[in-house]
Amino acid sequence: MQYSNILVKLSGEALAGDKSLGFDNEIISGVIKQLTTLVNDGFLVSVVIGGGNFWRGRTSGDMDRTTADQIGMLATVMNALYVSDFTKTYNVQSVVMTPFPVGTMTEVFNKDKAIDYLKSGKIVFFAGGTGHPYFSTDSGAALKGCEIGADVLLFAKNIDGVYDSDPRTNKDAIKFEKISCETILEKDLKPVDLSCVVLCKDNKLPIIVFDLNAENGIIKVANGENIGTKIIV
């Protein structure tokens, strides 16, 4: 087993599928089926979910940025509650943890507790990002990955890797099999947020960007198959 403790980042956009808002249950169910298979295979599995299928602070117009970002963080909590509910279909338990209290709906993050849950075969959903405005859930994923000692961050996206330019607008765009953090920073590529890249580089936490829609993509990547792009740290 190349990895044993994986943290999967799902963007809100990916959860919505072809719709721009809300949820695509078929996609979510497919993702959860893969994650529960990995748990049954002995992996420790945690998930960070974005909120872009409901709200993004940076595109909220003239409103106060801190308030806009707080709404974004709450969107990630709704997403985590929704998606975590699917694990029971596959007889795996899950927990939603947040960096701030959300009454009885989630548990406040505690590193040791999170690791205990993972070791007991539960999937832990880290919602609420970093708990601070001006950050993204990519950075939240890097932070949580470092705290819980993940071996790798798996970014399941609507694109199958990191390219030198946008393949949706440039048919000659070239996909990288591997890319260094330095090249990402030099070329200003932003496959994930830069603060996430920097945190992962500083803490030697590799990132793999791959296609959420690839068949059993999460299982393949977790088992070390070369799909997507590996960001070398």
Which residues of this chain interact with ligand UDP, rule CB under 6 A? Answer: 11-13, 50-52, 56-58, 68-69, 72-73, 75-76, 129-130, 132-133, 135-140
User: Min. distance of Cβ 2 from ligand UDP in angstroms?
Assistant: 25
> Residue 199 CA to chain centroid, in angstroms?
15
Cβ proximity to ligand UDP, 6 vs 15, nearer residue: 15
Cβ proximity to ligand UDP, 11 vs 92, nearer residue: 11
User: Min. distance of Cβ 53 from ligand UDP in angstroms?
Assistant: 6
CA-CA distance, 184 to 233, in Å (whole number)? 11
Cβ proximity to ligand UDP, 92 vs 231, nearer residue: 231
CA-CA distance, 40 to 72, in Å (whole number)? 32
User: Min. distance of Cβ 171 from ligand UDP in angstroms?
Assistant: 26
User: Min. distance of Cβ 78 from ligand UDP in angstroms?
Assistant: 11
- Give the closest residue to 32 by CA, choosing from 95, 90, 101, 113: 90
Bridge partners for 176 per DSSP: 162
Give the pair of three-digit tokens for residue 189. 């590529």
CA-CA distance, 193 to 19, in Å (whole number)? 23
Cβ proximity to ligand UDP, 130 vs 229, nearer residue: 130
